[in-house]
Amino acid sequence: MPPEPPPLPESALEEKFLAATGPGGQNVNKVATAVQLRIDTYALRLPPAVFARLKVLAGSRWNADGSILITARQYRTQEANRADARKRAAELVAAAFVAPQRRVKTKPSKAARARRVETKTARGAIKKGRGKVSLD
């Protein structure tokens, strides 16, 4: 069972509100509803393997200073965007705690290899019969 991800500490989160684009009419120009959530990954104190997976999962949201920047501007209210950003951050960190399963190499059986060769020769015979018809 993978370890349960700890809740994100408030000390690791920093929010900044900015003017959003999209729906909202004139309100969009007046109210800063979009949220930029910055997560200090070093403050999360993650195990090295989880930290490496988080860095890969974050992708372009990962900054050079080791923080992750999540922007939420889907909703019209600051509260809804704030909740959305925090939810997405928690999901991202939780996904980093899930270790990928190792792939077990398998080998086809002798019978399976024989069947493959038989079907190849049968198909080859069918194709060989499609040649030009000679009028001799």
CATH no. for residue 57? Answer: 3.30.160.20
Is there a domain that residue 42 lies in? yes
What pLDDT score was predicted for residue 4? Answer: 62
Chain centre to alpha carbon of residue 63: 17
Is there a domain that residue 87 lies in? yes
CA distance 38 to 13: 6
Is there a domain that residue 110 lies in? no
Radius of gyration from C-alpha coordinates of the chain: 28
Contact between 18 and 31 under an 8 Å Cβ cutoff? The reply is no
Is there a domain that residue 122 lies in? no
Helix (H) or strand (E) segment spanning residue 132: none
Is there a domain that residue 48 lies in? yes
Domain membership of residue 18 as a residue range = 10-96
Is there a domain that residue 49 lies in? yes
Number of structural domains the chain divides into: 1
Is there a domain that residue 130 lies in? no
Contact between 32 and 71 under an 8 Å Cβ cutoff? The reply is no
Paired with 39 in beta bridges are 13, 68
Instruction: Tell me the backbone φ, ψ of residue 59, rounded to 5 degrees.
Output: 60, -125
What pLDDT score was predicted for residue 72? Answer: 86
pLDDT in tens, the chain (136 residues): 555 666 777 777 878 788 777 666 666 667 777 888 888 888 888 888 888 888 888 888 888 888 888 888 888 888 888 888 888 888 888 888 888 889 899 999 999 999 999 999 999 999 988 877 777 6
